[in-house]
Amino acid sequence: MARTNDKHRVISLFCWFIRVKEELGSGRVRMVWVSLPVVGMLLVWWWVGFSAVNADYIKYKDANQPVASRVGDLLSRMTLEEKIGQMVQIDRSVANVDTMRTHSIGSVLSGGGSAPLPEASAEDWVNMINEFQKGALASRLGIPMIYGIDAVHGHNNVYNATIFPHNVGLGATRDPELVRRIGSATALEARATGIPYVFAPCIAVCRDPRWGRCYESYSEDHKIVQEMTEIIPGLQGDIPANSRKGVPYVGGNKKVAACAKHFVGDGGTTRGINENNTVVDRHELLSIHMPAYSDSIIKGVATVMISYSSWNGEKMHANRDLVTGFLKGTLKFKGFVISDWEGVDRITSPPHANYSYSVQASILAGLDMIMIPFKYIEFIDDLISLVKNNVVPMDRIDDAVGRILLVKFTMGLFENPLADLSLVNELGSQAHRDLAREAVRKSLVLLKNGKNGTNPNPVIPLPKKVSKILVAGSHADNLGYQCGGWTMEWQGFSGNNYTRGTTILSAIKSTVDSSTEIIYRENPDGNFVKSNNFAYAIVVVGEHPYAETSGDSMNLTMAEPGPSVISNVCESVKCIVIIISGRPIVIEPYISSIDALVAAWLPGTEGQGITDVLFGDHGFSGKLPRTWFRTVDQLPMNFGDTHYDPLFPLGFGIETESIKELVTRSTSDGVVGRPCILVLVLALILSL
């Protein structure tokens, strides 16, 4: 309003000056001579007033200005210390109002399991984040901070959130549109807690299942991984039609900034060792590990996280050729590049051995924001010194901060820095749980269906109405095992008390006929199984939760007592074995005794998705997203290798029809003259 009034004053004064000029022309000189000093005084008065009013106008705070203009204006006002503060990301445990204000901190994060309170509600999260944000807004320039979190299979750090299948399971669905919807749901649940930035998706191409992060990869096939980058528009929204390649986009306060990770080659390390060395030539790096980054950038991904790993001996956190040259140059990425947790420290061995050098190497390589996450004063002091001593040029700092501000302006943080409670009901909503249930059933891969692995005598779909069934195994009634790592805690958890969901045992109980007796034994002995006359048994076994390096495994064996449970149960009764794992594990020694085998991956909180297909309400449709080896001695082994001799190849998966489809098809084919089909259909109906 002040600017509008100012315009009116200018117009009025201009019109008055024109009238004076006309009077000069008409000979009324005496009046003009008297008026000119007054005119001069008025002009001075107007100029002072206009300048004072315009002093209140700040271009970077004007949402009507182009983003590039706002970035340039704000950069021109910032001190070196304020710029470096924007490049800092700290953990919530060391954040407070004073720190945010004093150091102009650009970002805060929650590490795995880092929450404001045990069983924190959406309101608790919003209140904590707004408190940090108020500190940032109280700084000299009032630049809002951006809060980030690992939401890698749903909003997995937050109590009561919907936990979707891990990426390996989503890769089995071969359904990019489903993954897009999961991205939208995850964005809503993150925003419900006041969080506008997620460190997802992981678009690694896992080439060796011994890697502890393999479940974070959609597939060993880069084409499948590329298809699954459709989660990015789900998280961020669809980029505008006229958007330039590489420019980040976040479409409003129901979407979040995404993060493609970990650039680049993290899934190709030698022997699958986490944070190790990827030894491949440039052609293989660009043809297998890079394509999903190109797709992500085309879809407007806001940020890219750098990998702990090395490429041919050079740490990615210090690789200027790939970060600045290829990512920012060739791929034209305009968002900001962020380090991994203490990734800068790990440039040296041992970590943090020469921190000033590590800061120098990472910033010169092209990293823009540093996930420190604790010792931020050391980073700030070191980088200030490096700039003042002309080791790191000022234009490199301006590039980094400009990219960070670009993302913040683009996502509307300056206009809406504080979260509200309008979306709290989205956290763990029934609609999202239904979506997760759909994802579970589409992710399941049926590897065997019948004692001889053939379909003339299929075991699945299972009858719901029988006298008595056995449910066994350590994973049948354990929500933590079902969800895997990166759930509530960094390494995951065991038991049913840390978040809300439905275990497989609970799902079975709610699915079978009320007259069917269900007996649950985690580890039954053979005599118990033989003496109980079970119609069939469902055995649920697999891996215990893990994340990152703790999941590296050179033997990929099933967790005890899984093998003995399979032996005790499957030798005495018809058995269906469900494998809960983040990757293929050793199964060949037991497979001959198993009647039906299901790869369920790490399905998350919605166990009903498993019973949906076991009992025939839906058919199996999932396909292996990665090769299932015979023995670990074959590894690494990927589709197309000359020594390819898998137990089950990439893309394998037995499809089944639902009971409804079976009945409909049999009826439409005509049951007259097909008494065997009629008998089968009637038997199925009666069993239900």
Active-site residues, by number, are: 340, 548
Residue with tokens 């052609």: 283
Residue 408 token pair: 């913040």
Strand order of the β-sheet with 310-311 is: 277-278, 310-311, 314-315
Exposure of 226 by Cβ count < 10 A (0-12 exposed, 13-18 middle, 19+ buried)? buried
Q: How many CB atoms lie within 10 A of CB 633?
A: 7
Return d(Cα 277, Cα 615) in angstroms, integer: 45
Joined together, the tokens standing for residue 343 give: 């990734």
Contacts of 522 (CB under 8 A, 6+ apart): 472, 473, 474, 476, 477, 565
- Residue owning tokens 């921190």: 355
Pair 236, 250: CB distance under 8 Å: yes
**CA-CA distance, 154 to 314, in Å (whole number)?**
33
**DSSP state, residue 606:** B
Q: Which residues pair with 520 in a beta bridge?
A: 471
Q: Which two tokens stand for residue 117?
A: 């309170």
| Of 589, 555, 562, 560, nearest in space to 577 by CA | 562
Q: Cα separation of 193 and 155, whole Å?
A: 9
List C-alpha distances in Å: 424 to 9, 161, 617.
48, 11, 32
The tokens for 587 are 């199964």
Asked if omega into 201 is within 30° of 0 (cis), the reply is yes
What Cα–Cα distance (Å) separates residue 545 from each residue in 476, 481, 507, 538, 604? 14, 6, 21, 21, 12
End-to-end CA distance of the chain: 72
Q: Residue 16: CB partners within 8 Å, gap ≥ 6?
A: none
Question: Which structure tokens are listed for 84?
Answer: 């470096």
